[in-house]
Amino acid sequence: MDELLNYSLKENALTSFVEWFEKAETVEQNAFAMAVSTYDHEKNRPNTRYLLYKGISDNKIVFYTNYLSPKAKDLSDNPEIALAFYWHVSKKQVRIHGRVSKMSHEDSTSYFHSRDRESQIASYLSHQSEPISDKAALLLKYNETVEKFEGKPIPLPENWGGFLVEPYEYEFFLYGDNRLNDRFLYQLKNQKWEVSRLQP
């Protein structure tokens, strides 16, 4: 435990992650950027994209997306997910493996209406990742949606909401001199975090 404290790590993986994130938030250009990897069974290949980390709820990591998007379809087939944070200034990264579940409709609605109106409109009109002829067609859809809901609240789209990631593994990685990096693997076993140091 004394060695972990030297790296701002605690016995609890989530507590360690939150502390690392809060420090990164003060120095990084965008500490919230989070790589999200899923597996596409239809094409037999992994998919990775960047989303925004949206905090912790009930000890689970939160992000939001279109439930008809490729990532959501992947997660419907296989709820296993991998996340990664890279903080250049901090010289740290965190890798996370976990399982996802959908956020409640009530919590998704609450977050949706906390967003700025322009973002609500964009989420309402988008059929994420589906083809569209050109940018002009997208702008037309946007303007039509603005006009449709002028003076009215934007309803939560049925196909939009939050995902909750319940981690069972974290890797905390600190870049060191001469590539002698420090790596600590947390694995959840019998409801307790077991920690091991990994070679660079």
| Residues taking part in catalysis | 179
Rounded CA separation 16/165 (Å): 16
- Interaxial angle between packed helices 117-125 and 135-148, expressed in degrees from 0 to 180 and rounded to the nearest 10: 120
Rounded CA separation 76/35 (Å): 19
Rounded CA separation 86/76 (Å): 27
Q: Where are the beta strands (DSSP E) in the chain?
A: 33-40, 45-52, 56-57, 60-66, 80-87, 92-102, 160-174, 182-189, 192-198
